[in-house]
Amino acid sequence: MPEHFDQAFWDEHYRSHPTLWSGNPNAHLLEQTAGLAPGLALDIACGEGADAIWLAQRGWRVTGLDLSAVALGRAAANARQAGGDVAERINWVQADLRTWEPGTEHYDLVASHYMHLPSVPRRVLFDHLASAVAPGGTLLIVGHHPSDLQTTVPRPKEPDLFFTGDDIAAQLDAEEWMVDVNEAPGRTVSDPEGRDVTVHDTVFRAHRRCDV
């Protein structure tokens, strides 16, 4: 994320759209957490809150973290609109992920979807995400795969922003972590000319071993 993509940039970006995202949770989150027992979750770059709300509706207690105060305001409103005890199950936190420290809280699920930083701050962030996972807990990271740069779908023309599951696995201590999923599944989207294009997502899920 270039330095000028700061809070002011993202706040204005959100203000310039009535809604920026679909309001639906990420499909990979639904698939990859289907077998997990609800616990304490951390949703990184939570935006307008769809993933955090979906988790809360299924019994998780969630911390939703984002740089944009505007996004978090919308997320909180969306959580209240969801009804039930959803809003009470989510704690919204404004923070810059480039300098964010996970603290001593450990989570049963740490999830990051489509958070793209240059490689150096990204490795720092992923180290922080891993350190926030409790023994037995799950780390889920999803992003646009580097192969998307070879398609006609708009992506930042900065290869350093993209990563593979192997890149993430290389940061984890193999004695401490078990990799459960390291895939790059394809999906069909339309490019600006209306043509069907297959893009791929990096989908990486691992759990911290309990016996180390």
Residue 131 phi, psi (nearest 5) = -70, -20
Percentage of the chain exceeding pLDDT 90: 80
Looking at residue 14, what is its pLDDT?
78
Cα–Cα distance measured from residue 170 to residue 135, given in angstroms and rounded to the nearest whole number: 19
Cα–Cα distance measured from residue 64 to residue 52, given in angstroms and rounded to the nearest whole number: 6
Contacts 24+ apart (CB under 8 A), 3-10: 6/67, 6/96, 7/67, 7/68, 7/69, 7/94, 7/96, 10/67, 10/68, 10/70, 10/71
Band the pLDDT of 85: cuts 50, 70, 90.
Answer: very high
- Which among 5-9, 97-101, 102-106 has the top mean pLDDT? 97-101
Reported as a single tens digit per residue, the pLDDT across 156-208 is 889 999 999 999 999 999 999 999 999 999 999 999 999 999 999 999 999 99
Looking at residue 1, what is its pLDDT?
45
Cα–Cα distance measured from residue 143 to residue 119, given in angstroms and rounded to the nearest whole number: 13
In the predicted structure, residue 59 carries a pLDDT above the cut 70: yes
Reported as a single tens digit per residue, the pLDDT across 1-39 is 445 567 877 768 778 877 766 678 999 999 999 999 999
DSSP notation for 155-200: --S-GGG---HHHHHTTS-TTTEEEEEEE--EEEEE-TTS-EEEEE
Q: Tally Cβ neighbours within 10 Å of residue 15.
A: 12
Taken in order of first residue, the domains within the chain and their CATH numbers are 7-208 (3.40.50.150)
Predicted TM-score (pTM) of this structure: 0.92
Q: How many CA atoms lie within 13 A of 84 on its CB side?
A: 10
Decide if 52 contacts 72 (C-beta within 8 A). no
Looking at residue 195, what is its pLDDT?
95
